[in-house]
Structure 1
Amino acid sequence: MDRHGHAISNRRCVWVNGPIIVGAGPSGLAVGACLKEQGVPFVILERSDCIASLWQRRTYDRLKLHLPKQFCQLPRLPFPDDFPTYPSKNQFISYLEEYARHFDLAPKFNECVQWARFDDTCGLWRVCTANQGKASYGGEVEYIARWLVVATGENAEAVVPDLEGLGGFKGKVSHVCEYKQGAVYGGDRVLVVGCGNSGMEVCLDLCNHDAKPVMVVRSSVHVLPREILGKSTFETAVFLKNGSHSVLGNVEKYGLKRPEIGPLQLKNAMGKTPVLDIGALGKIKSGEIKVVPAIKRLDSNSVEFVNGERVEVDSVIFATGYRSNVPYWLQECDFFSKNGFPKNPFPNGWKGKSGLYAVGFTRIGLSGASVDAMKIAQDIGKMWKAETRQTKQFNACHRRCISQF
């Protein structure tokens, strides 16, 4: 055991002459590309067996980017011109794979970080991983570096609420990260818990496959048209609160209560993304998607709501979002809050102390991650180049001194 209680048997140490990046999603790839431009070496550690595992393994088939592509591209490489305004899931994955090839990024896959901490004694970060691959040697690797970049993002772990009676429900229970398409639910009455973009799109997809979705709307939600007058609502943000009402009409009579503050204020304050409607609202108005209030309890084949209504259901899908997993592995309490987000909001949440950085926690999507990635690379680049020059000068002086003897 080391002095922090970590077992050290079978652990080999690897020195990284540059930063350690934890996470090979879009944010981690963006930092890597920007560091390549600075000439800084690095290592990317990824717990899964591929880049962008959230997109490749935990998203539904019909998913498209909710914002126009120009707001979602990563630094130094735009989307192909022939991609549509809202690229599909597969198109976005192909873009990320090309991004990794273009910048020669080679993450170390199946490396699950067990813990990471800053060693005050030597002034370095220590990051311990366990290999998750099929050919795992069963040991651990400890990476040691001057800098640590946390790029695991906002959506690392699925959130499933603990509902009364859930354990006794006889139907299928899953999280939206397991949902692919609605064909397997044809004819079923499906309880969808959550009314964000994922919940709305899953309900729409279920309708298109002849299922009967029942959507739980526990709190208020902003529903906006994806486009207004041919423009993305993201581009016409100042128009959102009043303009969406005139386009979509009064949605509160369908069980969708509007928050008191505007969508952008809500997004910045609480991280709640407005729903960009692509057809679900029409299904709600026609009654094909039934909107219900919060759940009181479940039994073997039905659900009771807080208003006393009871509905029989065959399956439950939790569209209840994700959370950061940073508190589970990063032994640091000054920079990150207990919820796994930097304490300082965007644009000031990218840099901590002792060489610690964060990217992908801005709550404003890939555009915010790209901004932070460039800042991080520039900051590390300056220090790395200065330290490299000092080392070269020292080595040259050392060689001259030796040559004189």
Structure 2
Amino acid sequence: MSHRLDRFLVIGAGPTGLVVARALKQAGIPYDQVDADDDVGGNWRHGVYTTAHIISSRRTTSFPEYPMPAHYPDFPSRAQMLAYLCDYARHFGLYAHIEFRKEVVAASPLADWSWQVKLADGEQRQYKGVIVCNGHHWDRRFPTYPGTFMGEWVHSKDYRRPEQLVGKRVLVIGGGNSACDIASEAARVAVCSHLSLRRGYWFLPKTMFGIPTVEMMRGWIPVPVQRAVLRLCLRVIVGRYAQYGLPEPDHRIFERHPTVNSELLHYLKHGRIRPRPDVARLEGQTVHFVDGTTDEYDLVVCATGFHVSFPFLPPGMVEVKGSTAQLYAGMVPPRTRNLYIFGTTQPRYGFGPLASPAADLLAQLLELQDAMTLPLSVVFEASGEQLPTTHLVDPHAALRRMRLARYLTPLLVRKERRLRTSPKVGAMTMWMPPQAI
């Protein structure tokens, strides 16, 4: 076994793994980094269809310490995003620390809360701690219906290029961004494109008045005012969703992740996309809908999201409620030490402006932990820190909280000193480490 107790292991070299590596390097914190792929990029390299463009704008997606090139469009393509992430890694000298084609299959704490890591090739290493940046767009979530579908039944993760849709009767299940993108591509090349919706969604155009929609809402505008402004703009620009055959939303804007797509309503009005209700049951290649109607399809694409999961960690170590990982400060699992989970939340726009300060805050927490006897997770819990109830994040509010936290986190050291002899802390139970891998 290779002993590397002076450093952390960063798992993943996608956008979140890269920004964490940059923060650790700049803070002088030793680390190794591994990724199962053959280069950086994560989902943008192996999990996104070739025609994808970001739904957030260039400005609200790029890392503030390394802006995207000025010649990029407002909505960069998959190829441009991948090139940007590779440039980011080169610019900050991150490649030297990354080992590619190294998949982590198990990571478990030892009695002293160092971490034993096993790789797919059988190699075992021991680290001071582990920082998980494995993303949350890879563990496919499929819907379940009575019956069996005898045509092609795939997840949106398996969709790669329009050729998969040519000449087919296509049903897309879901109302999120991937669902609308795939349904719009099917509208161009398939025999038919139908979109099954279980409920009403907020569909926002990618631009309003020539401005990316995500850039219209300023941080100083209260959320209720943002909602009112967007509703007014949508009524003027779009009209009522019922005019497109869509159900009206069953929630307020931002209570669920809005869908940002300018093509869906266009193709609905042209008859190239047909809205359908929720699926009731499956029978051969026939799909029965809850309104009693039926249709036959060659291909069903389930754009039904992903599970948040960490298959290489011991079962139960990181609790996930719905889509929300139970983490203090969005990074620290309860009752653990030297384990950090990064990048499980879903902001209303791109990753860069939030990920960068969050990574810097993580580096600060690692240094604070070295100054403490008690685990950070215990200090958070004993101090009354609340676990999240949703994975959705208001980016402006989150930025304000992180700026404040950068100044207040040193106070955790004082709290930890007072808590060491507290009966409340003494009664807490840590997660029990299993036997070595």
TM-score normalised to structure 2 length: 0.75
For 1:196, the equivalent position in structure 2 comes to 176
Matched, 1:289 2:280: no
1:19–1:148 Cα contact (<8 Å) kept: yes
Corresponding position: 1:380 with 2:362: no
Q: 1:124 is matched with which residue? A: 114
Question: In structure 2, do the counterparts of structure 1 residues 221 and 301 end up closer, same or farther at CA, with 3 Å as the change threshold?
Answer: same
- Residue from 60, 76, 83 that aligns with 2:49: 60
In 2, distance between residues paired with 1:339 and 1:114?
Answer: 24
For residues 280-335 of structure 1, give each alpha carbon's deviation from its aligned partner in whole angstroms, at most 9, with x where no partner exists: 11111232101111112222222111111110111111111222222x22227465
Counterpart of 1:25?
14
Distance 1:380 1:205 in 2: 45
Structure 2 unmatched runs, 5+: 218-225, 374-437
* Corresponding residue of 2:156: 176
Q: CA RMSD in A?
A: 2.4
Name the SS for the 1:143 alignment partner: strand
Please point out which of 314, 321, 342 is paired with 1:359.
342
Match of 2:199 among 219, 231, 240: 219
Conserved? CA contact 1:182–1:211, under 8 Å: no
Deviation at 1:251, TM superposition (A): 0.8
Pair 1:58–1:335, CA change in 2 (3 A): closer
**Structure 1 residues 202 and 375, CA, compared in 2 at 3 Å: closer, same or farther?**
same
Deviations 1:239-278 (A, max 9, x none): 22332232111113434223343222x14xxxxx211122
Question: 25, 48, 56: which is aligned to 1:36?
Answer: 25
**1:192 and 1:109 mapped to 2: Cα distance?**
35
Q: What is the match of residue 398 of structure 1?
A: none
Q: 1:216 to 1:260 in 2, by over 3 A?
A: closer
Moved more, 217-226 or 172-181: 172-181
Is contact 1:188–1:212 with CA below 8 Å preserved after alignment? yes
CA distance in 2, matches of 1:330, 1:51: 22
Would you say the 8 A contact 2:308–2:325 is kept in 1?
A: no
Match of 2:387 in 1: none
Please show how residues 102-121 of structure 1 align to structure 2 within 5 Å. 102-106=91-95, 107-119=98-110, 121=111
Alignment deviations for residues 369-390 of structure 1 (CA, whole Å, 9 cap, x no partner) = 3332121123325666999xxx
CA distances 1:156-189 after superposition (whole Å, capped 9, x unpaired):
31222233333x51x2222222222223422321
> Could you say if the C-alpha distance between residues 56 and 67 of structure 1 is closer, same or farther in structure 2, counting changes exceeding 3 Å?
same
Identity within the alignment, %? 26
Q: 2:169, 2:190 within 8 Å by CA — same for their partners in 1? A: no
Give yes or no for contact 1:362–1:368 (8 Å, CA) kept in 2: no
Q: Cα 1:211–1:101, aligned 2, differ >3 Å: closer, same or farther?
A: farther
* 1:162 corresponds to: 144
Q: Distance in 2 between matches of 1:312 and 1:275?
A: 27
Q: 1:349 aligns with which of 330, 336, 339?
A: 330
Q: Which amino acid is the alignment partner of residue 90 of structure 2?
A: R
Equivalent in the alignment of 1:235: 215
Give the Cα–Cα distance (whole angstroms) in 2 for the partners of residues 195 and 101 of structure 1: 37
Structure 1 unaligned blocks of 5 or more = 1-11, 132-139, 268-272, 388-405
1:133-165 Cα offsets, whole Å, 9 max, x none, are xxxxxxx22332222211112213122223333
Equivalent of residue 94 in structure 1, options 83, 87, 90: 83
Task: Check 1:284–1:16 CA distance in 2 against 1; reply closer, same or farther (3 A cut).
Answer: farther
User: Retained in 2: the 8 A contact 1:217–1:255?
Assistant: no
Cα distance, 1:337 vs. partner?
Answer: 2.5
Q: Alignment partner for residue 303 of structure 1, among 281, 287, 296?
A: 287
Counterpart CA distance in 2 for 1:381 and 1:70 is 31
| TM-score normalised to structure 1 length | 0.81
